[in-house]
Amino acid sequence: MAFLTRYEDDTSRPSVGSALKDAAVRAVAPSLLLFAGIVGIGLLLAGPLKSVGSSEESVNRDLAAGRTPTWDSITMVWSHIGNTEYVIGVAVLVALIVWWRTKQWWYAVVPVLAISLQATIFVIATAIVGRPRPEVSHLDPAPPTSSYPSGHQGASTALYVSLVLMASRITHPVLRTVVIVLCGIAPFLVGYARLYRGMHHPSDVAMGAVNGILSALLAWGYLRRERPSGQTRA
């Protein structure tokens, strides 16, 4: 069974109990390895590799030196689409619409599961690592979390990668392409905005993206699906 078409190849309804069990085994458990990797790299960046952070800040300083009122306004919008409340709102709205249209709750919950995985990893990892934010002026209020990894980047990436995967099922070719392109671009806009606005080092954004991408892929594959032959599950 193709990973991308797994929800089309098998549209059978799972029980809530089996879906929860699959989520625990196929999404939550593997996410522990992702969490360990992100924390491990973060501790290196905050400790033995602390000099990397200093060298990275040249990117933040260059961006800060080139700030203009116009780009301040543009990046404020881009940064906001990675805000927690926005990401949660979009994920829930999409889940409700998809559930209404497909009658498949087990499919509709994918973006909600994706952002939940990345958020859990992010919140615990940022508390453990405690990396300071770049030493440039910050254009956004700094939440009570450290710089690593980027929560905005992780949340937006998890959400929009999930939506890209879901958009592959749109039958109208033009609409499918437009949705995929817009959702694919969004995380890059958020990442640039967070660097421009002095909120994160490049490595914070990069690891936020890793967190988001892998969380989205784990969420997409959380439910066992039958192959067309009905003999094995994937």
Higher-confidence residue of 229 and 178: namely 178
| pLDDT, tens digit (0-9, with 9 covering 90-100), for 108-125 | 999 999 999 999 999 999
Structure confidence at residue 227 as a pLDDT band (50, 70, 90): low
Q: Which domains does the chain have, with CATH numbers?
A: 32-47+55-220 (1.10.606.20)
Burial 190-210 (b: 16+ CB within 10 A, else e): bbbbbbbbbbbbbbbbbbbbb
Is the separation of the CB atoms in 110 and 162 below 8 Å?
yes
Q: What's at 101, amino acid-wise?
A: R
pLDDT value of position 16: 94
Cβ atoms of 42 and 208 within 8 Å: the answer is no
- For residue 2, pLDDT over 90 is answered with no
The pLDDT value recorded for residue 84 is 87
3-state SS assignment for residue 66: coil
14 torsion bin: left (phi>0), alpha (psi -120 to 50), beta (else): beta
For the chain, how many helices (H) and strands (E)?
Answer: 11, 0
DSSP state of 199: S
Q: What is the pLDDT of residue 173?
A: 93
Instruction: Read off the pLDDT of each residue in 182-197 and give the average, rounded to a whole number.
Output: 96
Give the pLDDT confidence score for residue 196 in this predicted structure: 96
**What one-character DSSP code corresponds to residue 49?**
T
Give the pLDDT band of residue 26 (cuts 50, 70, 90): very high
Q: Which long-range contacts (CB under 8 A, 24 or more apart) does 103-109 make?
A: 104/7, 104/11, 104/13, 106/13, 106/14, 106/19, 106/223, 107/7
Q: What percent of the chain has pLDDT over 90?
A: 78
Interval 145-176: pLDDT, tens: 789 999 999 999 999 999 999 999 898 999 99
Mean pLDDT throughout 169-188?
94
Taking 80 as the threshold, does the pLDDT of residue 228 lie above it? no
Mean pLDDT confidence for 30-51: 92
User: Each residue of 48-101: pLDDT tens digit?
Assistant: 888 877 788 899 999 999 999 999 999 999 999 999 899 999 999 999 999 999
Confidence class for position 47, pLDDT limits 50, 70, 90? confident
What's the pLDDT score for residue 98? 94
Average of pLDDT values for 219-226? Answer: 92
